[in-house]
Amino acid sequence: MNIHEYQGKEILNSFGVRIQRGIVAHNAKEAVDAAKELTEQTGTGWHVIKAQVHAGGRGKGGGVKLAKNLKEVEEIAGQIIGMNLVTPQTSAEGKKVHQVLVAEDVYYPGDSEPEEYYMSVLLNRATGRNMVMYSTEGGMDIETVAENTPHLIFTEEIDPAVGIMPFQARRIAFNLGLSGAAFKEMTKFVIALYTAYEKSDSSLFEINPVLKTSDDKILAVDAKVSLDDNGLYRHKDYAEMRDIREENPVEVEAKKVGLNYVDLDGNVGCMVNGAGLAMATMDLIKQAGGEPANFLDVGGTADAKRVEEAFRLILKDENVKAILINIFGGIVRCDRVAQGVVDAYKNMGNINVPIIVRLQGTNADIAKELIDNSGLDVQSAVEFQEAADKVQAVLA
Amino acid sequence: MSVLVNKDSKIIVQGFTGSEGTFHAQQMIEYGTNVVGGVTPGKGGQTHLDKPVFNTVSDAVKETGADVSIIFVPPAFAADAIMESADAGIGVIITITEGIPVADMIKVTNYIKDKKCRLIGPNCPGVITPGEAKVGIMPGFVFKKGKVGIVSKSGTLTYEAADQVVKQGLGITTAIGIGGDPIIGTTTKEAVELLMNDDETECIVMIGEIGGQLEADAARWVKENGNKKPVIGFIAGETAPAGRTMGHAGAIVGGSEDTAQAKKAILKENGIHVVDSPAEIGKKVAEVLRG
């Protein structure tokens, strides 16, 4: 589950990670109040107004701006809130901004130059251990750094038996070229950050940039935090951070009825049991000359109710020209699934796109007969290729 | 021969008396699998499905000589169940449970690394050696005995592949569902290696999907090992968008290396017979085996 920058920072702060402080505002007036309050708390003169949406590259789209006085705070917050923010990571329509983070200015002048670094914590799937990945090249797109200057990216793998050790934090601080007070600050920062990652059941922390201020403080200016969905039962407070406005409405609805659905741009909807078979079915649709309109795993119990819910989800998409149902009946019997399809079809009453049902496995022959004798505009198939050919014929 | 499980395996079911455990244990027993008992803490001494129930895995091992365990314990308690099994000396631990937190699996991986056990899964359909033992949730009738080994991250896609192989008049030695999570006990390479060293297996079907490097690692190993047996490969998710989790927690494209296209290219470079269409797995196997 992805959360907003301000929520990620709340989690970091609760584990003692120093952050760029800020207050969330939902309109221009709240932004001005937030700015005043923040100045009282932190002494900051200028403010940074940051759009809160689930997408990276917000600055490039005009979603992060500096305000040098309260009038500018009001103006900028007014512009950003309500805008459709387009960034390299959003669709062409962008994402609607519902709230901004009014944050303190941390790039103030002082004894030394501020420096930016990159730091993330994530799972190394190859070793089954977490690692801290970091670079001197902060504030930039890390994929670009990896491509152009891979020697500037370092990793530190963490032994789960002991957690992050001080020598590892020191190595990170040395590799970042730090000394003196900033060095000590960085070791504290790294240990707190890793502890936060582990204790919050996160699946990704990306802090870009980590800032060394002109007075040698180390803090997180941005925070991209993804939480492990499977760990959320241990963190009811984090589960509440979910912002469904940031998610695809059809996917939100699917989740409510327990279906695993991903919305795509194509013209052939599909309904499959099992994630691997669902992906394979999408691939087959493409090879048959179509484009998959969705990923949908109906799971092990493909009864009439579930099939009907799945139909409703798929048919919300006006681009759908055909639906392919692909069920491999193992424990679940195909004839029951076929009955489910027939019942759902009759209940819906107004399905205007051709449907191809491929049922294979337990009682597949009975299922085919059931579909063929239903009198409905549903084509049946037994073999995988046969289903693909029928999709191709329908699209032609 | 076969790998991991056979007719002599002594199998216990952890989470035996729960609804999932009960249903699938019954199916396994009906298949002819040698289920010797089960574990449900607090229900030791009872009898379930005509088999003894034990409080702990070590009790079960002591009383029955069990060497294989299958786990149906809910996600919050599954990591503990795996470690209990490893501690009790179980050799093959097959974990069906889906939804175990990654942090728990990091602990498990670390705990079992020096133990003499092999973990299969989690989030997998299990392992079947047709005609001998079904230690999983797969429909047994699909798998007929033969000489093709299967390694797969996915459940229903394994059934699909087995069905296609059987319809070509061939059969399966052992099918291993390794699971679709980001951290799994047995990698694609390790499962392929088991089958490569199995005398009865003449050909291996390797089914993967987007995310991670497991299939690429396996393919490189196959080549280094001298391509001793033909391997047929399929990678699902060519049409999956980057950055989205496709059902399996581990099925997510993170970079340019773990897309279906990139993996297929690596497989081909290493002498794997790659099929682009999931409908042609069986056909390809027959073609390769019959020359």
pLDDT tens digits for range A42-85: 999 999 999 999 998 899 999 999 999 999 999 999 999 999 99
Cα–Cα nearest to A205, from A394, A17, A396: A17
For the record, the structure tokens of A219 come out as: 């803090």
Give the number of C-alpha atoms closer than 13 A to the C-alpha of residue B176, restricted to the C-beta side.
33
State the residue for tokens 């994929």: A143
- Residue intervals of chain A classified under CATH 3.30.470.20 are 1-19+108-247
The pLDDT confidence band at residue A243, using thresholds 50, 70 and 90, is very high
3-state secondary structure of A297: strand
The DSSP call for residue B41 is T
B74 in reach of chain A (CB within 8 A):
no
pLDDT of A330 above 80: no
pLDDT in tens, B248-278: 878 887 777 889 999 999 999 999 999 999 9
Q: Name the residue among A161, A228, A295 with its Cβ closest to that of B110.
A: A161
Q: Please, what's the b/e burial string for A335-363 (b: 16 or more CB within 10 A of its CB; e: otherwise)?
A: bbbbbbbbbbbeeeeebeebbbbbbbbbb
Alpha-carbon gap, residue B175 to B138, rounded angstroms = 10
Query: Quick one: closest CA in A to B283, which residue?
Result: A385
In chain B, the percentage of residues whose pLDDT exceeds 70 is 100
Looking at domain A248-395, does it have CATH number 1.10.490.10?
no
Alpha-carbon gap, residue A222 to A181, rounded angstroms = 22
Count residue pairs from A and B with Cβ separation < 8 A. 164
Alpha-carbon gap, residue A269 to A84, rounded angstroms = 28
Q: Beta strands B172-177 and B126-129: pairing type?
A: antiparallel
Cα–Cα nearest to B180, from B208, B200, B161: B208
Between chains, do A264 and B239 touch, taking CB under 8 Å as contact? yes
* Chain B residues with CB-CB distance to A260 below 8 A: 247
Q: To the nearest 5 percent, what fractions of chain B are helix, strand and coil? A: 35, 20, 45
The continuous run of DSSP H or E covering A29 comes out as helix A28-42
Scan residues 10-49 of B and list those with Cβ closer than 8 Å to A: 27
Over residues A142-166, mean pLDDT:
93
For the record, the structure tokens of B79 come out as: 């990591």
Q: Which whole-number Å values give the CA distances from B183 to A125, B31, B35, B219, B242, in the listed order? A: 6, 30, 27, 19, 20
For the record, the structure tokens of B120 come out as: 């299969």
Q: Name the residue among B154, B209, B239 with its Cβ closest to that of A292.
A: B239
Q: Name the residue among B160, B241, B276 with its Cβ closest to that of A328.
A: B160
State the residue for tokens 């503990």: B80
Between chains, do A203 and B102 touch, taking CB under 8 Å as contact? yes
For the record, the structure tokens of B244 come out as: 């989205």
Query: Residue A188, exposed/middle/buried by CB under 10 A (0-12, 13-18, 19+)?
Result: middle
Check: CB of residue B16 under 8 Å from CB of residue B44.
no
Helix axes B75-87, B102-112, angle to 10 degrees: 0
B159 is in an annotated binding site: yes
Cβ–Cβ contacts within 10 Å for residue A225, how many?
A: 27
A159, A279, A324: best to mutate for the B interface, most B CBs within 10 A: A279
The pLDDT confidence band at residue A352, using thresholds 50, 70 and 90, is confident
The pLDDT confidence band at residue A305, using thresholds 50, 70 and 90, is confident
pLDDT in tens, A6-27: 999 999 999 999 999 999 999 9
- Cβ neighbours of residue A391 under 8 Å, at least 6 residues apart? A268, A284, A285, A288, A289, A290, A322, A324, A356
Strand partners, B35: B11
Strand partners, A262: A295
Cα–Cα nearest to B278, from A327, A277, A328: A277
CATH superfamily of A1-19+108-247: ATP-grasp fold, B domain (3.30.470.20)
Please tell me the pTM assigned to this model. Answer: 0.93
For the record, the structure tokens of B12 come out as: 């216990």
pLDDT for B60 equals 98
pLDDT for A303 equals 74
Provide the Cα torsion B48, B49, B54, B58; round to 10°: -170
Q: To the nearest 5 percent, what fractions of chain A are helix, strand and coil? A: 40, 25, 35
- Cβ neighbours of residue A252 under 8 Å, at least 6 residues apart? A244
Between chains, do A130 and B164 touch, taking CB under 8 Å as contact? no
Please tell me the distance in Å from B45's CA to the nearest CA on chain A. Answer: 30
pLDDT for A349 equals 81
Beta strands in B186-262 (DSSP E): 203-209, 231-236
Cα–Cα nearest to A178, from A223, A120, A138: A138
B234 in reach of chain A (CB within 8 A):
yes
Strand partners, A255: none
B183 in reach of chain A (CB within 8 A):
yes
Alpha-carbon gap, residue A7 to A21, rounded angstroms = 12
Which residues of A are designated catalytic? 118, 206
The DSSP call for residue A150 is G
pLDDT of A301 above 80: no
* Chain B residues with CB-CB distance to A161 below 8 A: 110
The pLDDT confidence band at residue A340, using thresholds 50, 70 and 90, is confident
For the record, the structure tokens of B25 come out as: 């244990």
Beta strands in B50-171 (DSSP E): 51-54, 68-71, 92-95, 118-120, 126-129, 133-136, 145-152
Alpha-carbon gap, residue A155 to A122, rounded angstroms = 10
- Residue intervals of chain A classified under CATH 3.30.1490.20 are 21-105
Please tell me the distance in Å from A63's CA to the nearest CA on chain B. Answer: 22
Q: Beta strands B35-39 and B11-14: pairing type?
A: parallel
Alpha-carbon gap, residue A165 to A181, rounded angstroms = 19
A87, A89, A125, A235: best to mutate for the B interface, most B CBs within 10 A: A125
Over residues B16-41, mean pLDDT:
96
Q: Name the residue among A160, A230, A362 with its Cβ closest to that of B106.
A: A160
pLDDT in tens, B185-232: 999 999 999 999 999 999 999 999 999 999 999 999 999 999 999 999
Please tell me the distance in Å from B246's CA to the nearest CA on chain A. Answer: 7
Nearest 5°: phi and psi at A227? -100, 145
The continuous run of DSSP H or E covering A210 comes out as strand A202-212
pLDDT for B53 equals 98
Query: Quick one: closest CA in A to B217, which residue?
Result: A126
Nearest 5°: phi and psi at A111? -65, -30
Cβ–Cβ contacts within 10 Å for residue A265, how many?
A: 12
Tell me which CATH code domain A21-105 carries: 3.30.1490.20
- Residue intervals of chain A classified under CATH 3.40.50.261 are 248-395
B273 is catalytic: no
The continuous run of DSSP H or E covering A103 comes out as strand A100-104
A74 alpha-carbon distance from chain centroid: 30
* Chain A residues with CB-CB distance to B138 below 8 A: 330
* Chain B residues with CB-CB distance to A206 below 8 A: none
pLDDT in tens, A179-229: 999 999 999 999 999 999 999 999 999 999 999 999 999 999 999 999 999
Cβ–Cβ contacts within 10 Å for residue A37, how many?
A: 12
pLDDT for A141 equals 84
Alpha-carbon gap, residue B17 to B55, rounded angstroms = 12
Over residues A230-240, mean pLDDT:
97
pLDDT for B1 equals 65
pLDDT of A275 above 70: yes
* Chain A residues with CB-CB distance to B238 below 8 A: 282-283, 286
Between chains, do B213 and A228 touch, taking CB under 8 Å as contact? no
Cα–Cα nearest to A277, from A345, A228, A332: A332
* Chain B residues with CB-CB distance to A266 below 8 A: 239
Query: Quick one: closest CA in B to A163, which residue?
Result: B107
Cβ–Cβ contacts within 10 Å for residue B257, how many?
A: 12
* Chain B residues with CB-CB distance to A282 below 8 A: 237-240
The better pLDDT of the pair A236, A361 is held by A236
pLDDT in tens, B50-78: 999 999 999 999 999 999 999 999 999 99
Query: Residue A365, exposed/middle/buried by CB under 10 A (0-12, 13-18, 19+)?
Result: exposed
B20 is in an annotated binding site: yes
A373 Rama sector, left if φ>0, alpha if ψ -120 to 50, beta otherwise: alpha
Alpha-carbon gap, residue B251 to B153, rounded angstroms = 10
Beta strands in chain B (DSSP E): 11-14, 35-39, 47-48, 51-54, 68-71, 92-95, 118-120, 126-129, 133-136, 145-152, 172-177, 203-209, 231-236, 273-274
Between chains, do B279 and A385 touch, taking CB under 8 Å as contact? yes
The pLDDT confidence band at residue B166, using thresholds 50, 70 and 90, is very high
For the record, the structure tokens of A31 come out as: 């932004």
